[in-house]
Amino acid sequence: MTEMLDARLDRALAALPRNYAGPGGAVAVLREGAVLARHAWGWANAERRVPFTPKSLFRMCSITKQFTCASVLAALADPRELDAAIAARLPRLAGPKPNALQLAHNQSGLRDYWAVAMLHGSPAEAPFGDAEAAMVIGGARSLQFAPGTRSSYVNQNFRLLGDVLAERTGRSLAEHLRSIFERAGMASAILAADTRALPDGTEGYEEMNQGGHRVAVNRLIWTGDAGLGASLDDMIAWEKHIDATRDDASSLYQRLAAPVTFADGRVAPYGFGLAREEALGRPATGHGGGLRGWSSHRLYLPRERISVVVMLNHIGDARAAAIDVLAAVLGEARPKPDASLPPPAWLGAYVEPETGIVARIEAGEPGRVKLHFASWRPEILDLKADGSAGGGARASRLVPVPQGLRLERPADNLFSTLVPVRPAAAGAPTDFAGRYRCAELDAELSVVDAGVPYAAFSGCLGQGRMELLEPLGDDLWAMPCPRALDHSPPGDWTLAVRRDGAGRAVGVTLGCWLARGLDYQRC
C-alpha cells in the first residue's frame, strides 16, 4: 500500500464520525483479499460505555437477503423445488403466484408487508412476530404487477424463502445460515431474529428532534429478510471469501451475482438478494441494510477486487459513507453536478399512470433535482446538458419528450410518460371526509375534517395515528408516514379521491411504491 493511499484512507476514515455523526460505527476496506483498513469508533452501547470494536455484533438487516439466497442455492439443486410451498402460503392470492426465483429477484409482485402493516393500523413500535407476519403475508389477494414483469423491493420475499427452505429440508434457517457462515469463516455471525437486543449488548440509536440520540425501540421478529447479526470481522471474512472464490463459477457468490433478467428479457439490476449497481462509474455488487437505529452497506467491485463495508449503529447514509471511502481508495473525487445548469421548466407534480403514485420533482442544490416518488428519501438526480436528469446505472431518469416528461426506472423495468397533476382549486374541498373500507385488506381509512383534513388507518393490527393530509392537486392528497415498523417508512401515500356522476366522493385509490393500487370504498 503506497504512502499516498495511506494518507487518503486515513483522511477518509477520520472524516466518517463527523460526516455521519452518531454513537458509533465501523468500516473495513479490502483489496485483492487483503485488509487495507479495519476501523471502529464510538460506542456500541453508549449508556454502558461499551466501545464499538471490529468484534461488536451488528444488525446487518437487509444484507441478510444474500445469505438467505445463498442458503437456498447451497441446499437445493433447483430453487423451484420451493414453488409449491410458496404458493401454499399465499392461499387467497388470485391468479398466477410468484415462484422462488421471482421472490429472490424481488419480482414477485407482492406488496411489502411492512408497508401493508401500517395500513392495518399497526403503531410504529408495535410487536410484530411470526403470527402477525403469517397473517399479513397470507392475506394477500392480489399483486401489484404480474410476477417477473417488474421489480419492487419486498421484504417478505426473503422471509418466505427462508421459511419454506426450513420446511422443505427439516433444518432451521439458522442451521442453513450457520453452514454458510462456517464456509466463509464468519466466526461470530448468527441469526439474531429478535430485534429487541443483541447478545453482546450493542444498541442501535435514533436521532431525537432536539438533537442527540436515544436507544431505538424495535419489537420485530426478523428471519430470512433481515435477521443477520454479524461483526465487522465477520463481514471482512465474507469479503475475503468472495475474492478467494472469484474465479469459481460454481461458488456461492458467483452464483448470487449471476445475470438476472425480467420476463421480457431486459437485464434486471437485482437478483438473489444482491443489487448489481454502479459505484463511481464501475460495476459493483452489494446491498444496504437498515432498521430504526441501524444502517449498513457493503460493496464489491469485481474488476478492481475492492470491498468496502460500513456499519453505523444509527440512522445514516451508509452507502454514501461507503462511496466516500471507495473514492479515497481509488484516488478519485465524487462526481459533481454541473452547477451552471438552471432548474428545468418541468419541475412540478405528476401522476405515474401505471402505479397511480404522484411524483413530485423540485429543485435541489445547483445542478440537481429531487424526485419524490418511490422512497421516503428523495432521489437526487443530476441535470444533464440535454435537458434530462439522472444518476447511475440503476437510478431513475427524467427525460423531456414531445408527449411530456418520461420517467425511466430501469431497476424496476418501469418506463412511462408522466401525467401533469391538475392544480387543486383554492381551498381544496374536504367533502371526502368519512370512512373507507379496503376489501383487499379488510382494513379501513378514516378521513376527518378537523378544520383541515386528517387521515388514519385501522385494521387487525391496531389503530394508526391521525396524519395531516397535504393537497397535491385536484382530488389528490399526500398522507405522510413518518415512522413505520421497518427502518424506512413507506414514504407519502398518494390518496386519489374518486367521485360519482353527481360529484360525490365514493372511494379512494391509495398507494405508495411498496404497496400500491389499493381500492377503498366509502362506507
Q: Confidence band (pLDDT; 50, 70, 90) for 149?
A: very high
* DSSP line for 30-81: EETTEEEEEEEEEEEETTTTEEP-TTS-EEEETTHHHHHHHHHHHH-S-GGG
Q: Which long-range contacts (CB under 8 A, 24 or more apart) does 283-287 make?
A: 285/256, 285/257, 286/322, 287/62, 287/63, 287/65, 287/66
Higher pLDDT, 482 or 474: 474
Contact 393, 381 (CB under 8 A): no
Cell numbers linked to 515 = 404497496
Contact 19, 191 (CB under 8 A): no
Kindly tell me if the per-residue pLDDT of 3 is higher than 80.
no
Q: Residues with Cβ < 8 Å from 122, sequence gap 6 or more?
A: 128, 132, 461, 462, 464, 485
On the question of pLDDT at 207 being above 90, the answer is no
Is 62 a residue of the active site? Answer: yes
| Model confidence pLDDT, tens digit, residues 13-39 | 999 999 999 999 999 999 999 999 999
Lowest mean pLDDT among 56-70, 196-210, 341-355, 363-377: 196-210
Residue 260 has pLDDT above 70, yes or no: yes
**Residue 428: what pLDDT?**
60
Q: How far apart are CA 153 and CA 174, in angstroms?
A: 23
pLDDT digits (tens, 9 = 90+) for 156-182: 999 999 999 999 999 999 999 999 999
Convert the pLDDT of each residue in 213-232 to its tens digit: 989 989 999 999 999 999 99
- Grid cell locating 227: 435477521
Topology alike, domains 348-420 and 434-522: yes
CATH topology of domain 348-420: Lipocalin (2.40.128)
The set of cell numbers assigned to 28 is: 473495513
Written as one letter, the residue type at 223 is T
| Mean pLDDT, range 262-269, rounded to an integer | 96
Strands (E) located in 168-281: 190-191, 205-207, 213-215, 228-230, 260-261, 267-268, 270-271, 274-279
The pLDDT value given to residue 354 = 96
First to last CA, the chain: 69
Catalytic residue among 55, 56, 65, 188: 65
- Residue 42: beta bridge partners? 24
**CB count, 10 Å around CB of 195?**
25
For residue 5, the surrounding DSSP H or E stretch is: helix 3-19
Backbone angles phi, psi at 12, to 5 degrees: -65, -45
Q: What is the pLDDT of residues 397-440, one digit of tens each?
A: 999 999 999 999 999 999 999 999 988 776 566 799 999 999 99
Q: What is the CATH number of domain 434-522?
A: 2.40.128.50
Tell me, what's the pLDDT at 129?
A: 94
Fold of 3-109+144-328: Beta-lactamase (3.40.710)
Of 62, 295, 388, 488, which one is the catalytic site residue?
Answer: 62
Average pLDDT, the chain: 94
Q: Inform me whether the pLDDT recorded for 1 exceeds 50.
A: no
Going from N- to C-terminal start, the domains of the chain cover 3-109+144-328, 348-420, 434-522
Q: Does 231 qualify as catalytic in the annotation?
A: no
pLDDT of residue 337: 94
8 Å CB contact between 381 and 392: no
Q: What is the mean pLDDT of residues 467-492?
A: 87
Q: What is the pLDDT of residues 121-138, one digit of tens each?
A: 999 889 999 999 999 999
Total-model pTM: 0.95
Q: State percent of the chain over pLDDT 70.
A: 98
